[in-house]
Amino acid sequence: MIYTLLEMNRYVNFDIDLLDYERVDGREFFRARIAASPVGEQRDPDTSKRPFPSRLRDRILRLERRELSFDELILLGEELASLLMPPAVREFYKRSLAKLRGDEGLRIRIRPHEYELAALPWEYIYVQRPDVPRGRKGPEGFLALDRKLSIVRYEIMEESSITIQPMKHHNIRAIALLSEVKGTALAELDLDREELNLRQALEGFGGIDTRFLRPGTSIQLQEMLSEDAQVFHFSGHGVMHRQKGEEPGTVEGEGQLIFSGDNYSADPVDVGTLGLELRSKGIRLVVLNACEAAKRDPVTPWAGIAPALVRQGIPAVVGMQYTIGDSNAIAFSRRFYRSLASGESIDLAVTEGRLGILTRSGGEERDWGVPVQFAE
């Protein structure tokens, strides 16, 4: 077996800033810089801009449409790795891995400074392992599938960070809100199937007490938040709204989750307000199965739904960057929530969820890279 189960609840941060994006004559450039690592940081003069591979954008579109073969998925991962980890960054990465103790992992925290960089699917980066023969390329090269590694999208916060600690065994209470909205321009969702999927994922093991809320109103959530829950799972629609900013020529964005209102009408809830409410009630993890939930607004990145919740003090948010198949959603949720219930860290639980999809699909499925973890 490629992966061995390790006690990996302590992760050391390896922070990469993605800077100075520009498009010149149809080509895209940016530079990556190590902002912090177990072996130090990079100076600005030691970094340089690198061009995007010529077919990268096309491969990403085909990834979203499920058109990449496994070999092409590896090629995409190698191209993403060449951007995120040019030779100087790769050297920091290797030295940082060598410095870890046996019970430590490396949390690769990616901080894109422009939307064009945030929108890239960094969860698919691929680095050939030194213990694998050069001619053999299998799933072990995807960093997001390695239990010793964690891929996280993050922003530097003005306040001190909240440490993401494991949750106590047999002490997790979760709220699953499934928002039923009818008679609107929003597509009607199959929430019966969504609830069945989640119940199947949680069936047969203890450790998580889950309360399902339907039709998913704000009042239902407020009443349930008084019961000391730590996890909020949302299934429904997420939307972005843009409007003119106060300064001439500027645009502002606002993220909202759509709750169920009177007679199943749409009840938009601002994620900034929601984040404050969830934080004040002790929610430590938000899982979003919502359209657009893990996407970031191209003008104001923090207006994206998942990042905005983190900014309000939620230690970790997991959202989906592409559609995910029902069976794979069950496989991810089952391994993810079981890992949390057994006392593993959120970082490791996300990796376990990815491996659940990989085990089910045999490596030919791209859905293991769909979940995105956000944290400060």
Give per-residue pLDDT as tens, 7-57.
456 899 999 999 999 999 999 999 999 999 999 999 988 898 999 999 999
SS (H, E, C) the chain: CCCCCCCCCEEEEEEEEEEEEEEECCEEEEEEEEEECCCCCCCHHHCCCEECCCCHHHHHHHHHCCCCCHHHHHHHHHHHHHHHCCHHHHHHHHHHHHHCCCCEEEEEEEEECCHHHHCCCHHHCECCCCCCCCCCCCHHHEHHHCCCEEEEEECCCCCCCCCCCCCCCCCEEEEEEECCCCCCCCCCCCHHHHHHHHHHHHCCCCCEEEEEECCCCHHHHHHHHCCCCCEEEEEEEEEEEEEECCCCCCEEEEEEEEEECHHHCEEEEEHHHHHHHHHHCCCCEEEEEEECCCCCCCCCHHHCHHHHHHHCCCCEEEEECCCCCHHHHHHHHHHHHHHHHCCCCHHHHHHHHHHHHHHHHCCCCHHHHCEEEEEC
Place of tokens 């997420």: 238
- 261: CB partners within 8 A, 6+ apart: 181, 217, 267
The contacts of residue 199 (CB under 8 Å, 6+ apart) are: 212
Peptide bond into 307 cis (omega under 30): no
- Which pLDDT value is given to residue 170? 52
Beta-bridge mates of residue 104: 10
**210-242 residue pLDDT tens:** 999 999 999 999 999 988 899 999 998 888 765
**Of 219, 218, 214, 221, whose CA–CA distance to 199 is shortest?**
214
85 contact partners, CB below 8 Å, separation of at least 6: 32, 93, 125, 127
pLDDT digits (tens, 9 = 90+) for 113-134: 888 898 899 999 999 888 777 7
Query: In one letter, which amino acid is 275?
Result: G
Alpha carbons 308 and 298: distance in angstroms, whole number? 14
More confident residue, 79 or 162: 79
Domains in the chain (CATH in brackets) are 10-154 (no CATH), 172-375 (3.40.50.1460)
User: What is the pLDDT, as a whole number, of residue 205?
Assistant: 74
**Structure tokens, 359:** 């085990």
Cβ atoms 172, 29 nearer than 8 A: no
**Rounded Cα distance, 260 and 76, in Å:** 39
Which pTM does this prediction carry?
0.87
Rounded Cα–Cα distance for residues 20 and 160 (Å) = 26
Segment 255-267 shows an average pLDDT of 92
Which residue is it, tokens 């999208």? 153
Report whether 300 contacts 252 (CB < 8 A): yes
145: confidence class by pLDDT, cuts 50, 70, 90: very high
Query: What pLDDT is stored for residue 291 in this prediction?
Result: 63
